[in-house]
Amino acid sequence: MLSWLRFSDLIQGSKIIMRLCRFGEGRLGLVEDASVRDVTAALDALPMYRYPLPSFDPLIANLEKVTSRVQAIAATAPSQPVSSVTLLSPVANPGKIVCAPVNYQKHLDEVREDAQLHHNNAGTMAPIHTAGLFLKATSALVGPGEGIALRKVDRRNDHEVELAVVIGKTANNVPAADGYQYVAGYAIGLDITIRGPEERSLRKSPDSYAVLGPWLVTPDEVPNPGNLNLRISVNGEERQNSNTKYLILGVADLIAYASSFYTLYPGDIIITGTPEGVSPIQPGDIISACIEKIGTMEVKVRAA
Interface with Mn ion (CB under 5 A) = 160, 191, 274
**Cα distances (angstroms) measured from residue 75 to each of 39, 59, 69, 129, 167:** 10, 21, 11, 48, 28
**Minimum CB–partner distance for residue 162 and Mn ion (Å):** 6
Give the residue with the Cβ less far from Mn ion, 71 or 274: 274
**Minimum CB–partner distance for residue 185 and Mn ion (Å):** 20
Q: 100 with 56: CB under 8 angstroms?
A: no
**Minimum CB–partner distance for residue 102 and Mn ion (Å):** 8
**Minimum CB–partner distance for residue 243 and Mn ion (Å):** 16
**Minimum CB–partner distance for residue 78 and Mn ion (Å):** 37
User: Which is nearest to 66 in space by CA: 184, 172, 164?
Assistant: 184
**Minimum CB–partner distance for residue 230 and Mn ion (Å):** 12
DSSP H helices, the chain, are: 4-10, 58-61, 63-73, 105-113, 115-118, 122-125, 128-131, 200-203, 251-259
Give the residue with the Cβ less far from Mn ion, 92 or 135: 135
Q: Which residues contact 28 (CB under 8 A, 6 or more apart)?
A: 20, 21, 22, 38, 39, 40, 42, 43, 59, 66, 70
Give the residue with the Cβ less far from Mn ion, 121 or 170: 121
Scored b (16 or more CB within 10 A) or e, 270-291 reads: bbbbbbbbbeebeeebebbbbb
Nearest 5°: the CA angle 77, 7, 17 is: 30
Give the residue with the Cβ less far from Mn ion, 124 or 274: 274
**Minimum CB–partner distance for residue 10 and Mn ion (Å):** 36
Give the residue with the Cβ less far from Mn ion, 146 or 191: 191
Give the residue with the Cβ less far from Mn ion, 259 or 274: 274
Scored b (16 or more CB within 10 A) or e, 133-164 reads: bbebbbebbbbbbbbbbbeeeeebbbbbbbbb
By beta carbon distance, the residue nearest Mn ion is 191
Q: 141 with 97: CB under 8 angstroms?
A: yes
Give the residue with the Cβ less far from Mn ion, 29 or 275: 275
